[in-house]
Amino acid sequence: MYDTASRLEGQVSATDIKIAARDVQVFYGDNHAIKDVSVDIQDKTVTAFIGPSGCGKSTFLRCLNRMNDTIDIARIEGEILIDGEDIYDKRVDPVQLRAKVGMVFQKPNPFPKSIFDNVAYGPKIHGLSKTRADLDDIVERALRRAALWDEVKDRLTAPGTGLSGGQQQRLCIARAVATEPEVLLMDEPCSALDPIATGQVEELIDELRQDYSVVIVTHSMQQAARVSQKTAFFHLGSLVEYDTTDKIFTNPQDSRTESYITGRIG
Ligand SMILES: Nc1ncnc2c1ncn2[C@@H]1O[C@H](COP(=O)(O)OP(=O)(O)OP(=O)(O)O)[C@@H](O)[C@H]1O
């Protein structure tokens, strides 16, 4: 399923661009963590952010749904447009933005609620369902989308925290997709999972790109190669190289990218 032929390659037209970042800088106090990053992220594509520890992958990912707003010392400059709209415009409500740009974290973090309520929470607060039947439909659809429905349909009232790690992560993915996002940000979503659960989540990511733009931070180059069509290599806060995943892994243009993918730095 991850065959080269299925990867998106070639020309990118302006209409394919979901996220456009321009000259983005992030500072944590005096620490200049992201330096002048500009990148166009394509729609219906999995984009991997790779690079050595501390290079700024998670920081830049968090800029894309304003999660850095929650960090007091973080300061952001530059411009990030989603579908041409500036997400840092004063009129943008970050809560609404995060429904449109969902996020899945490293450690599965279900709420201490039932499986059903974990998924229903977002649609309820965003008023996506008028009736209980609507809500039931939304929850079922999201759990199916996250390839979890068959495993949990008979125990929707059981606590989400009682599921296995891999199931919890798929529950978090269901929770993120329940608000009908357009972009899904994933910060090392498989790092707490065993190889079988990792395989399931990777398969799911491949399916999700039919509907969403997916951006994934990963420490695993094998994972980036398996799931992504585009790869961005970060180093010391800069975006060094951004290209098709095939090109980054087979014919990188920058010596720092080559050193990283061959294991000489990182
Ligand atoms: N909440 C924070 N407060 C202060 N500094 C931070 C914060 N988060 C990250 N940083 C700093 O920003 C820089 C980039 O960190 P970031 O976590 O974005 O890198 P990363 O590439 O995702 O690293 P890793 O692969 O280890 O998760 C580092 O110098 C880090 O110490």
Structural domains in the chain, sorted by start: 14-110+181-261 (3.40.50.300)
CB 184 within 8 A of CB 177: yes
Is the CB of residue 59 below 6 angstroms from any atom belonging to ligand 1?
A: yes
Model pLDDT, residue 82:
96
Q: Are 42 and 12 in contact (CB under 8 A)?
A: yes
Q: How confident is the model at residue 264 (pLDDT cuts 50, 70, 90)?
A: confident
* 149-191 residue pLDDT tens: 999 999 999 999 999 999 999 999 999 999 989 999 999 999 8
Over residues 65-88, the mean pLDDT reads 95
Query: Angle at Cα 104 formed by Cα 100 and Cα 107, nearest 5°?
Result: 160
Give the DSSP letter of residue 13: -
Closest C-alpha to ligand 1, atom 5: 28
CA of 153 to the centre of ligand 1 (A): 38
CA of 33 to the centre of ligand 1 (A): 7
Cα 144 to middle of ligand 1, angstroms: 34
pLDDT value of residue 129: 87
What's this model's pTM, rounded to 2 decimal places? 0.91
Check pocket membership of 28 for ligand 1, CB cut-off 6 A: yes
Q: Residue 197 has what pLDDT? A: 87
Q: Which of 57, 75, 186, 221 to mutate to test the pocket of ligand 1 (most atoms within 8 A of CB)?
A: 57
Share of the chain above pLDDT 70, in %: 94
Does the pLDDT value for residue 137 go beyond 60?
yes
Sheet of 85-86, strands arranged across:
31-42, 17-28, 74-82, 85-86
